[in-house]
Amino acid sequence: MVTQTKPISAVRTTGIYCRDGCSATPLRRNTMHYPSGVAAEAAGYRPCLRCRPDRLPAAISGNGVALVERALLLIAEGALDDETEDALAGQLGVTARHLRRIFEDHVGATPAFVARSRRAHFARRLLDESDLPVLDIAYAAGFASVRQMNRVMQSVFRFSPRELRAKRRDADRLVADGGLCLRMPYASPFSFDDMLAYLRPRAIPGVEHVGDRAYHRTISAHGDPGAIEISDAGDGRHLLVVAHLPTMQSLIDDVARCRRVFGLDRHPAGGTPLADDSMLRGLVAARPGLRVPGAWDPFEVSIRILLGQQISVPAATTLAGRLVQSLGTPVRGLGALSLTHLIPPATRIAEASLDRLRKIGLPEARAESIRAFARAYAADRLRFDAAVELPAILDALQELPGVGPWTAHMIALRAAGQPDAFPAGDLGLRRAAARLTGRDTVSAAELEELSEAWRPHRSLAAMHLWAS
């Protein structure tokens, strides 16, 4: 569920919930404990204004219940912004009644309540950290109107948006030199440097740029170009997001994509059996904050992986840059961030001629494979959201020309965010496993057998092996 990093205490007599360590000292007999802030809110409590438990980072965890975790990932990406609980349940292959029941059992709130809480807390962060007008905040947080936001904020916080803004502290407000600046909380430990080290050589030239201390990328905001910058706040608790956007509408979903790129909604290995595994525990101890990187756009990362088949990472990056130059949409005014283009959409790559793709340096078979992938993606024959389970994703991908097990697992790992994807045939993984086991070589079949002990966290295990 959407769990906080520490337990939540709620006080019956005041109707307030607090984080551990709050200076308030209620009588024990008046105190209830909840696994998360959203569970306390569903029970009728509001967050404490002193310790601000609503600022604790949310992480996706369903107490081991895969259906709940998949549903929460979909909600975190906006699945209930425009759809109903019935539609969400249909995506997951269950009835809405069953989904609500299992949420009540394991989350302490219905899916609709979780989605409403998500919007309310995002709006609260904008009220604290920005000077955006209340109307803009309502649309940025996914509300249909200011009236709807007022009603929800009163329900969750017992104050109106304007009253909440009046209560913000001087240290809450962030000011950026151009753009809107927001804090993005995470559960420690998290290694920003390790994440940048992974993303830097794989950044698509023109679309992404990874500097020494920040990640930059172009985005499309309701059809118009914009840019996002992500850096480390330096406090061990937040990343900083600076958004340069033509509109703040649906900003909540853009921030969700930022979280997905940096793997912030997944726990590090310290909270998994990997930390006690005889083969991996040394790697986990060396890099406790390592996370699995995700994707801003599943199609973009998938194309980058397809370009990288059987060639080096730098060579694949060069090809990705040529593809963007040839088929991407140029954008102006972002040269200072080393950004020049939007990624080409699936339809444009699907319709590109083989001759045009060959001119960027692709062999004909690879060019046809990329076109086939783009056609399938554009036609919605490929789905990478959390409603689709790993075997179905792998099967759908391997039906396409030029997509084998390695490619399918790599796309599932990064583009689809599947926690148990594991490209056992990867040479880097096999070399790392050979060093750790003291063998001369480890075959793909042998590594597949070794990885059985790491389920259902094999994607994170792969990251630790690569980092070693």
Q: Which residues are catalytic?
A: 18, 426
Contact indicator for 298, 397 with CB cutoff of 8 Å: no
Q: How far apart are CA 92 and CA 94, in angstroms?
A: 6
Q: How far apart are CA 370 and CA 358, in angstroms?
A: 11
Contacts for 411 with CB less than 8 Å, ≥ 6 apart: 301, 302, 305, 384, 393, 397
The answer for 184, left when phi > 0, alpha when psi is -120 to 50, beta otherwise, is beta
Alpha-helical segments (H) within 262-337: 281-286, 298-307, 313-327
Say which DSSP state 278 is in.
T
Contacts for 227 with CB less than 8 Å, ≥ 6 apart: 216, 217, 218, 219, 243, 244, 334, 337, 339
Contact indicator for 201, 215 with CB cutoff of 8 Å: no
H or E element at residue 59:
strand 59-60
E strands, 188-313, where?
208-210, 214-221, 224-232, 238-244
Q: Which residues pair with 209 in a beta bridge?
A: 216
Angle at 91 between CA 89 and CA 92, to 5 degrees: 65
Q: Tell me, rounded to whole angstroms, the distance of Cα 454 from its chain centroid.
A: 22
